[in-house]
Amino acid sequence: MTKMYREQDAKPQVLEGKKLAVLGYGSQGRAHALNLRESGYQVALGLRPGGKSWQRAEGDGWEPVSPGEAVVGADLVAILVPDMAQAKLYEDFVAPNLKPGAALLFAHGFNVHFGHIAPPKDTDVIMVAPKSPGDLVRRQYQEGRGVPCLVAVHQNPTGEAFDRALAYAHGLGGTRAGVLETNFAEETETDLFGEQAVLCGGVTELIRYGYETLVEAGYQPEAAYFECLHELKLIVDLIYEGGFTKMHEFVSETAKYGDLTRGPRVVDPSVKENMKEILTEIQSGTFAKEWAEENKAGLPKYRELLQSDLEHPIEEVGQRLRNAMSWIRPRLEEAK
């Protein structure tokens, strides 16, 4: 059985009294910075002056500085800006100011694994990837709990790379839930695959086709929305809490029979073949190259596809129905 590292395995002293530079204050950056600070670590927050993140950070009690200033003298630099912004941030602000023997930390292995960032050989290169959105990383920490994390070591010239990564995960609250060791290739490739084939791409396409099938057959759009989107959360929550076993325990016998006999007709073996093709594109670097070229071109295809998603009829129906759901409204207002 794979070892899960817990609180007793961490050596927080390897980061105590050290300067940790956190670059970025988005979903993960904010959670990392606040959790690390409240765990007693010395954190310098590096942000683009004058941006929205700068203002939000000041509201959270930070005195942010420019990215370059944050990196100067830092013993660990956490790069937590979006993937496609990381290479330029590294080139402009991190590389010129990174001190020898420092550690470079990522929350996703994309740029290191695909060679967009090539750190110097005297630098520890590590990863700590919480397996949840930043908001949940923060909330669980505040409640005295944590979310599971993945840790990985890409370079270890100091001999302390793993201990540094585990101490950082400990500061996030990750060792309360459990920390699993992986490597940059496995984390990057499985993460991209999960997003594309199941969690985002797969789920949204399944919802879209289910909704369209019912509406085109003459059923009310509202009924189609409830059956194909709204109730998905109920099923996902059951699976999240107890796997397929709990889902089968709490749905009707009719639902179970339909699941077991009709599900394989919808998601048939050809879907697995498509998934294998997507995984091959990820492993070969084809997807990473395509995404980098799309960014250089100004995101024309991305914007067109995104707009098509946002303009789908299910969005108008869903917005209208959600406005009547009192238990959802507070979350929607908080997200604005």
Annotated binding site for NADP(+): which residue ranges?
Answer: 25-28, 48, 53, 134
Report yes or no: 105 and 77 within 8 Å, Cβ to Cβ: yes
Q: Which residues make up each annotated binding site for Mg(2+)?
A: 191, 195, 227, 231
| Residue 119 in tokens | 């750190």
CA distances for 189 relative to 1, 27, 86, 195, angstroms: 22, 21, 18, 10
The CA–CA distances, whole Å, from 228 to 75, 82, 210 equal 49, 31, 6
Binding-site residues sit at: 25-28, 48, 53, 134, 191, 195, 227, 231, 252
Catalytic: 108?
A: yes
Could you say which of 32, 108, 154, 170 is catalytic?
Answer: 108
Closest CA to 10 of 180, 167, 168, 144: 167
Q: Which amino acid is at 243?
A: G
Which residues belong to the annotated binding site for substrate?
252
85 to each of 32, 127, 330, how far by Cα in Å?
18, 17, 32
CA distance 102 to 115: 20
Active site residues: 108
